[in-house]
Structure 1
Amino acid sequence: MPRPQYPTSEGLWSRGKRGEAGYGAVRLGTPYPEAVESFRKAVEGRLDFDPAVLFVWGTMQATAVLNVLKAVEETFGEAGQELVRKAINQAGYEAMKGFLESSSFPDDLSEIELASYVVTGINTVLYASLERPWIESENRCAFDILWCPHQDRYTAFDCRVQRFFVEGMFHAIDDSGMGRITAWVEKLIPRGAECCHFVVERTGESDGKNPWHAYSEELMRRAIQKLSKPKHPSDG
């Protein structure tokens, strides 16, 4: 499969505009507003600031999160794994709650429009990624990620740690009264695809575990199982 090609004019970043008429009145905010404003003031007008250093710093943090997960899995097994999961859930919940509180969406949006636009916020604000989104039906939307901060450092299996952040984000969406959504992954850049492709679906008020969470737990089981097998260079 072809790898992503850059530079590209496709997709949108956080200040980009989607083609749907309803998106014109959407305003995407940020969590941690005081810290964000402090940062903006610190770099305002500074020609000696290179945005890439934030990527370097963020990648170091993302590597640390992954290393912590792997270390507790190896040392404490399932109990340690669940401990890290809950801590990351909390971080995702806090970020999503702050994003929703600082954003505004028109009242006349359909439920799938609202879900899709909120997901654009997750992708372009919380994940600082380049997104190509679209709506497929009244209950389903989808998106491609054309660039992700983790794509050149994580293996496909490493991406599992990010699922824990999204679990927390989905909980925050549930608690906001916006309705329940789930998602699944069909392509990943670290697996050799030209983009990461996700499908998002409204699940209404259905009972039971969110399928996103259920698959996270399947990957958690695989991670524990991998620890009992000899490690080969090709393992993710």
Structure 2
Amino acid sequence: MAEPQYPTREGLWAKGEREESSYQAVRLGVPYRDAIERFRKATEGRDDFDPAVLLVWGTMQATAVLNILKEAERTFGEAGQEMVRKAINQAGNEAMLGFMEHCSLPDGADEVAKVSHLITGVNTVLYASLEKPWIVSKDRCEFDILWCPHQDRYTAFDCRVQRYFVEGILQAMEDRGYGGFTARVDKLIPRGADRCHFVVERRTDSGAKNPWHSYSEELGKRAL
């Protein structure tokens, strides 16, 4: 099985640039602005601060979220799973709305470009991940995740908990006029791939439920 190779010059972090000319006008926002500004001031000029400790803290929080989901499923079954799902939906929705409030996109870009640019923000800001994105057509864009904070702790099945955050993120995008797309994943680092690979495409289904949510529910049933 292939494994991720580091260091790498592939992809981009939050301050990186994409190759599309339209991305030059993109300004990625951040949620929790007051907290972030205070954090930047607290660490400014400090040689004794190691950014890796944020990964330690974040991994502890991510492990707690996963454990809460599993314990709720064991104790309360489907009702417990749905309770945790709703709470995580709310967290993802709040973060994405905060991000979009302070994000600017080029007026002249087509819809799929704007969606792809927003997703770069999701990946590099909300998920603090290393992303390699590209646009395939007016109906489809794709991206690889070359490094993710969860890749060395989560199993492939554990990654299902992150789908609930994405449900809230998709709802925020829909509320802001970008609801015509869905996503699917066909490679995962915890499953032995050298990167996670996602496809984002325009919805062609006639149902009211986003296919992303439907597959989340299928995975949820396997867990019960």
Q: TM-score, normalised by structure 1?
A: 0.93
**CA-CA distance at 1:180 after TM superposition:** 2.4
1:55 aligns with 2:55: yes
Indicate how the Cα distance of structure 1 residues 114 and 205 shifts in structure 2: closer, same or farther if over 3 A, else same.
farther
1:25 — aligned with what? 25
Contact 1:180/1:205 (<8 A) preserved = no
Shift of residue 114 of structure 1?
A: 0.3
Q: Secondary structure at the match of 2:132?
A: strand
Distance 2:9 2:175 in 1: 36
Q: Which position in structure 1 is the counterpart of 2:156?
A: 156
Q: 1:206 to 1:15 in 2, by over 3 A?
A: farther
User: How far is the alpha carbon of 1:205 from its aligned partner?
Assistant: 9.3
- Whole-angstrom distance in 1 between the partners of 2:149 and 2:134: 21
What's the counterpart of residue 182 of structure 1?
182
Distance (Å, rounded) in 1 between the aligned partners of 2:180 and 2:72: 31
Amino acid at match of 1:116: S
Q: How many corresponding residue pairs? A: 224
Q: Deviations over 1:204-228 (max 9, x none)?
A: 795421000000000000000xxxx
Does residue 101 of the first structure (1) align with residue 105 of the second (2)?
Answer: no
What value does the CA root-mean-square deviation take over the aligned residues? 1.1
Structure 1 distance, partners of 2:203, 2:211, is: 10
Is the CA contact 2:170–2:179 (under 8 Å) kept in the aligned structure 1? no
Task: Tell me, in whole angstroms, the C-alpha distance in 2 between the residues paired with 1:179 and 1:108.
Answer: 19
Q: In the alignment, what sits opposite 2:122?
A: 122
Deviation string 1:74-130 (CA, Å, 9 cap, x unpaired) is 000000000000000000000000000011111111000000000000000000000
The one-letter code matched in structure 2 to 1:39 is: F
Partner residue in 1 for 2:89: 89
1:37 equivalent in alignment to 2:37: yes
CA distance in 1 between partners of 2:131 and 2:88 (Å): 23
User: Which residue in 2 is equivalent to 1:71?
Assistant: 71
Instruction: Report the 3-state secondary structure (helix = DSSP H, G, I; strand = E; otherwise coil) of the residue aligned with 1:146.
Output: strand
Give the whole-Å Cα distance in 1 for the aligned partners of 2:204 and 2:15: 30
Q: Which residue of 2 aligns with 1:137?
A: 137
Q: Which whole-Å CA distance do the structure 2 matches of 1:178 and 1:171 have between them?
A: 9
Deviation, 1:142, is 0.2
- Contact 1:142-1:198 at 8 Å conserved across structures: yes
Structure 2 stretches lacking a partner, 5+ long: none
* Distance in 2 separating the partners of 1:5 and 1:143: 17
Identical aligned residues as a percent: 70
The answer to whether the 8 Å contact 1:28/1:102 transfers is yes
In structure 1, the gaps of 5 or more residues are 225-236
Instruction: Name the CA distance, whole Å, in 2 between partners of 1:111 and 1:180.
Output: 10
Normalising by structure 2, report the TM-score: 0.98
Q: What SS does structure 1 have at the residue aligned with 2:182?
A: strand
* Correspondence 1:208-223 to 2 at 5 A: 208-223=208-223
